Amino acid sequence: MSSQLITTDLVALDANFGDSIESVITNLATLVHDTGRATSVEELAGPAIEREAKAGTGVPGGVAIPHCRSAAVSEPTLAFARLSRGVDFSGPDGDAYLVFLIAAPEGGGKAHLKILSKLARALVKKDFLEALRTAQTKEEIVSLVLDVVNAEKPKKKAAASESAPAAAAAAPAPSKAADSQKTRIVAVTACPTGIAHTYMAADALTQTAEERHDVELTVETQGSSNNTAVSADTIAAADAVIFATDVGVRDRERFAGKPVVESGVKRAINEPGVMLDEAIAASKNPNAHKVAGTAGAASSSSVEEGEGLGWGKRIQQAIMTGVSYMVPFVAAGGLLLALGFLFGGYDMANGWQAITSDYSLTNLPGHDVMVDGEMMTFKKAGFALYIGAVLFAIGQASMGFIVAALSGYIAFALAGRPGIAPGFAGGAIAVTLGAGFIGGLVTGLIAGFVAMWIGKWKVPRWIGSLMPVVIIPLLATMVTGLLMYLLLGAPLAAIMEGLQNWLSSMSGSSAVLLGIILGLMMCSDLGGPVNKAAYLFATAGLSTGDEASMKIMAAVMASGMVPPIALSIATFVRKNLFTPAEQENGKSAWLLGLSFVSEGAIPFAAADPLRVIPSMMLGGAVTGALSMSLDVMSRAPHGGIFVIFAIEPAWAYFVAILAGVIVSASAVIAMKQFWPNKAAEEAAAKADKAKAAA
């Protein structure tokens, strides 16, 4: 490293940095910028604030550790503030008074992450925190931090290693005869960035275990600076496993058959003793949940990661997984259909099968084509008509998979790989019986739960290897198919037919009301479950090709484009109402909006939900209502303004979006003007002061 990780210029003691996360991070980013270690306050603060919106970085002891990688950062840097007014970083102890901003260069390698992880580990030590609270000078703070990050690897008790992987991998597995009174536990910790929470969770568990006499703990950190896996012998000797992760467990099948306790990474930081107690109890319970493997429901690392969640949450996550895997089929298929219309003309849809089967590049069609024994005249001819029909055929093939993909990956989310085959088969049966996407949802859940249940059967070892590849798919597919054909298919098909008839009959006020509802849903959580539910409703119906479904698709896409565009415009019109980080986000949010990426508005909504979300919902409702009332139709499921060729009438689509943008932008400006955002004002004033000083 070219200089110290932290200097006195990067420390603020008993500072008033405002009463919001945004203002605190912006002030810390200003310290980094003023020392010449960052090229822009906004480009550093923005990613840290966005990271905070995903999951608060507050930890026990009234501490927060916002962190990010940024291209604006020139070298690994720590900025520290001891606040005179605490700020809520979603920590378990309430407001945070000790805040570290960990600023890492983008693409700067892993060496600095090892240093940063040492700091994260020190933050679970009470004496270190007390020293930070009572330090009288900035020099004391710098000395305390550098002593921690420059310290050699501490000596460890035999019960646990320093987040243990390196030592555990090299050391032989402990002998159970050595201490029969101790429960041997292996833990895995991981957070999305792999910088801080991963190591804090590891050391919270380790330190708690060292204070006890009934536990021998080994921890594997699946973070950015140390990914050495615990040895197979250590896992084999373990009595139970703890998974404290927010991103799943890599190579989860290594732990197959072990009793397991699962949670998010922050619970291990906040309640390490409780998790250890739960693991001890699981090790003594013959009916405790165990990690699935080749003898169970599945062997992939994604299997049953939600076993610790409630059934409602698990079903929601499974459906969202199905939707996320389905979207590529929808996007590819829908855009190919749109391209087919662009090249071959809209009337080509009436004869694409005959065109693709009877003609080729060396035998191009004319305007008149024989379709099902009748001569049809198309507006286009030759290569344009033929390539349009081919693109349309490819798109139809992709769209034909959407219900099966939805069903298959819902089942996959519940039961792992053995659930895929019965899920896909169930989805195909749903299409055959006319049950559509509703049938796909049902078959996905049935296949997943049946496969999961069969996977928990206790079977002889000789048959265990056949379970995930033969027996589970066979039985789950049979059960799902029989239920659909014998019991559920006809009722679900009737529901789907009734829904399609209702959509097709919509006109006037009923269509407008549906547009309002869809607009509100698209803008309520900006990419979350409600937004995805509206999108699923639209895309699943798009495969039918009827006008009502295309109107719904247009209303959904137009409404979803409104928030990022509106917020971008608002930051330009009334810049002083937004924080510097929001102003920076506003520079690119308009492009995300034009591309139908609603998530471009998330940083604004996370920073100021009470003002932003209602304003966006208002504009979304206006756009949805106008789109439906003007009979706008979209043959493309994604792409925003860039698939305008697949939208008609285009002028009405623009009018609906423009109206919603104006309403949302005006509403959010009014909300921030008449209900002032103190955090934004303080951050803007601080940034202006910094620029003036520079």
Task: Please identify which of the residues 33, 68, 112, 191 carries the catalytic annotation.
Answer: 191
Q: How far apart are CA 388 and CA 345, in angstroms?
A: 8
CA distance 423 to 160: 43
Is beta strand 94-105 parallel, antiparallel or unpaired with respect to 63-64? parallel
The alpha carbon dihedral of 97, 93, 183, 290 has a sign of: negative
Catalytic residue among 33, 67, 112, 197: 67
Task: Respond yes or no on whether the N-terminal peptide bond of residue 580 is cis (omega within 30° of 0).
Answer: no
Report CA Rg, the chain: 29
One-letter identity of residue 643: V
CA distance 66 to 75: 17
Q: Of 100, 47, 50, 98, which Cα lies nearest the Cα of 73? A: 47
Is residue 112 among the annotated active site residues? Answer: no
CA-CA distances (angstroms) from residue 356 to 386, 401, 542, 575, 577? 7, 20, 22, 55, 57
Separation in Å, CA 177 to CA 161, 184, 541: 20, 12, 63
What are the residues whose beta carbons fall under 8 Å from the beta carbon of 411, sequence distance 6 or more? 419, 420, 422, 423, 426, 443, 444, 445, 447, 448, 451, 476
What is the residue type of 534?
Answer: A
- Residue 262 in contact with residue 307, Cβ under 8 Å? yes
Q: Determine the distance from the C-alpha atom of residue 376 to the mean position of all C-alpha atoms in its chain, rounded to a whole number.
A: 48
Helix, strand, coil percent values for the chain (each to nearest 5): 60, 10, 25
Instruction: Give 99's strand partners.
Output: 64, 81
Tell me whether residue 68 is one of the annotated catalytic residues: no
Report the alpha-carbon distance of residue 546 to residue 549 in Å, rounded: 6
Question: Does residue 593 contact residue 692 with C-beta atoms inside 8 Å?
Answer: no
Measured distance CA(215)–CA(160) in Å, rounded? 9
CB neighbourhood size of 465 (10 A): 12
Q: What type of residue is 356?
A: T
Q: Which of 5, 73, 9 is nearest to 43 (CA)?
A: 73
Residues 373 and 361: their CA atoms lie apart, in Å, by 23
Three-state SS at 86? strand
Residues annotated as catalytic (active site), given as ranges:
67, 191
